[in-house]
Structure 1
């Protein structure tokens, strides 16, 4: 594991993005790559059944409990906790856990210029993106376009201006791209014959609703397996009580813990 130093904090605060090189170990990356295709097949089956398959090629959502390796990756993210806490100036939870298989000539919504949160604050950050490179990210295979310093630009830039000015987030397999979710960005076009795969996680302040109920998906029956990091990031410390019996309990047993603001 790399030592995470203050340079990444500075980059996030200024340019709005940073790459932590080769953070994830190779054997875990291999397991994640192996799990990704069956996960995509499952989601495509559901999307086909529900009539929402268009413009979604290679995109995956809510992978957490598909395979143990997805849970293991989230546990490995604990090394980033100091960076996350400094970014949010406090606690945070998992908001989404997805992935992208970017293949030659594929087309999906992630290739449009976009940002992942539509509002911001001069005094507080609400959302952070973390992209895990499961393959090398190169200019040829569709490395992400990121418009540096765009976290405070409300108006979507025209495509021509965006692609002329955007940087490319290239990196070796296992590297992690972190960026302010207000950044304008787009998945690049893959011009190679090999897929370019990534996992895309987002984290938010604890009072934001996650895109899926990850605490329930993970299961209360598995709560005793969670260390402090997993309990926090899965949202078990920011739950809403369901009854008076759940509300009137000692502080340490409450679902909604202090510091979740």
Structure 2
């Protein structure tokens, strides 16, 4: 499951915040709700945190952090600035007034962070996570281990297809014969063939479902019912 942490920081005075922060909060919540609906079937978990700040930390007010990264750092050609804020000035009751953060993109200066920038930052972060996951998958060591019987070979063929469909460039190593049997014994497996990911058993026994094989590769485990290979499970 993909996990995303989103933190919204804003000035708070006795339960009240300024108008620009309040609007940013509304925009952020609207985007989060929409994304949760869109990703309901894609297993996206969003952890939201609201951090209320005292006036001594006013410089951090109206910040949005996604996985600890400031929103403006996730969007190209986006910077921050400050300008006078009537609303905050009223809240802190300071005759000198108060300057608050803005998010700037090109000629546009946003006092309230709009929904399109919030969504763009989140989608850019999800894209970064996906790229990182692809890079991690490229480093995976994937093996199919068996005696060399037809069922073991079939798992090897399905695993190769699964890897190709996942756009992974990994080669799947097939270990069979006496070497395969010895490896099964060393791993202490009770049935075969085995799908091994990074040296650990991801699936024990034959499973023809390519989607479950993909999930086993990603997560390293599978809860599917084991089916012994055509040699009667006597590989080991």
When normalised by structure 2's length, the TM-score is 0.24
Higher strand share: 2
When normalised by structure 1's length, the TM-score is 0.22
Higher helix share: 2
Greater relative CO (CA pairs within 8 A, separation 6+):
1
